[in-house]
Amino acid sequence: MTAGKTCTYIFTVEFPFFLVPAVKGCKDPGNPQFGKRKPILKFYWPGETITYTCDTGFKFREDSSPNRAKCVINNTTGDADWDTRQPDCEVDYNFKFQKELLSADVYVKELAPTTRLKIKAYVVNIINLDEKSEQIVTSFKAEYTWRDNRLQWDPEEYGRSFVPLVLDDQVWKPTLTLQRNADTDYSGGFPKTEVRLDSTGDVTWPITSLTTTTCTLDPFLFPHDNMTCKVCWQVGEVNTIECSNSTTRRDTNFLTCQNNEADIVTGEWRGKTTLSAIDHTACLTMTLKRDPTYHYSTTISPCLILIVLMIITFIMPIDKGDRIGFGVTILLSMVVSLVVVTGFLPVSSALPFIAMLIIVCMALMALFMLTTLFIIIIHDKKGPVPKWARTLFLKNIARALLMGDLTKKLKSEEPTRPSTSDKVDDTEGCDIPLFNMHIDGASSEDDKPSLDTRNEVGTAIIGRLDELKVSVRQLSDALTQASRGDDDGEVAEYALLANVLDRLSLILYIIAICVAIPCTLLIGRPRIIPD
Domain range for 262 is 114-291
Tens-digit pLDDT profile for residues 425-483: 444 444 444 444 443 444 444 455 555 555 665 676 777 777 777 777 777 666 655 55
Instruction: Please spell the DSSP secondary structure of 191-239, one letter per residue.
Output: ---EEEE-TTSEEEEEEEEEEEEEEEEE-TTTTS-EEEEEEEEE--TT-
Tens-digit pLDDT profile for residues 261-274: 999 988 889 999 99
Express as a percent the part of the chain with pLDDT over 70.
Answer: 81
The pLDDT assigned to 233 comes to: 92
Domain assignment present for residue 150? The answer is: yes
CATH number, position 159: 2.70.170.10
Indicate whether 137 pLDDT > 50. yes
DSSP annotation of 425 reads -
Tens-digit pLDDT profile for residues 307-343: 888 888 888 887 766 888 888 899 999 999 888 888 8
**Weakest mean pLDDT among 143-152, 209-218, 382-391:** 382-391
Q: Do residues 46 and 161 share a domain?
A: no
Domain assignment present for residue 421? The answer is: yes
The pLDDT assigned to 528 comes to: 53
The pLDDT assigned to 478 comes to: 61
Indicate whether 111 pLDDT > 60. yes
Domain assignment present for residue 2? The answer is: no
99 phi and psi angles, rounded to 5 deg? -75, -35
Domain boundary among 258, 291, 324: 291
d(CA 220, CA 223): 9
CA 229 vs CA 164, 238, 486: distances in Å: 37, 27, 76
Domain boundary among 226, 257, 291: 291
Q: Which residues contact 417 (CB under 8 A, 6 or more apart)?
A: 482, 486
DSSP bridge partners of 283: 232, 276
Domain assignment present for residue 489? The answer is: yes
- The total of structural domains in the chain comes to 3
Q: Do residues 87 and 50 share a domain?
A: yes
Q: Do residues 371 and 484 share a domain?
A: yes
Quickly state the pLDDT bin for 163 (edges 50, 70, 90): confident
Contact predicate 153/163, CB 8 Å = no
The pLDDT assigned to 271 comes to: 93
d(CA 78, CA 389): 133
Indicate whether 369 pLDDT > 70. yes
Give the Cα-Cα-Cα angle 401, 404, 408 (nearest 5 degrees). Answer: 145
CATH number, position 39: 2.10.70.10
Indicate whether 502 pLDDT > 70. yes
Q: Do residues 280 and 388 share a domain?
A: no
Domain assignment present for residue 16? The answer is: no
pTM score: 0.65
Side-chain-side CA neighbours of residue 226 (13 Å): 8
DSSP SS3 for 404 = coil
Domain boundary among 230, 264, 291: 291
Q: Do residues 352 and 418 share a domain?
A: yes
Quickly state the pLDDT bin for 109 (edges 50, 70, 90): confident
**Element of type H or E holding 265:** strand 261-266
Domain assignment present for residue 109? The answer is: no
The pLDDT assigned to 146 comes to: 92
Q: Do residues 163 and 50 share a domain?
A: no
Amino acid at 14: E
Q: Do residues 143 and 270 share a domain?
A: yes
Indicate whether 1 pLDDT > 50. no
Indicate whether 242 pLDDT > 50. yes
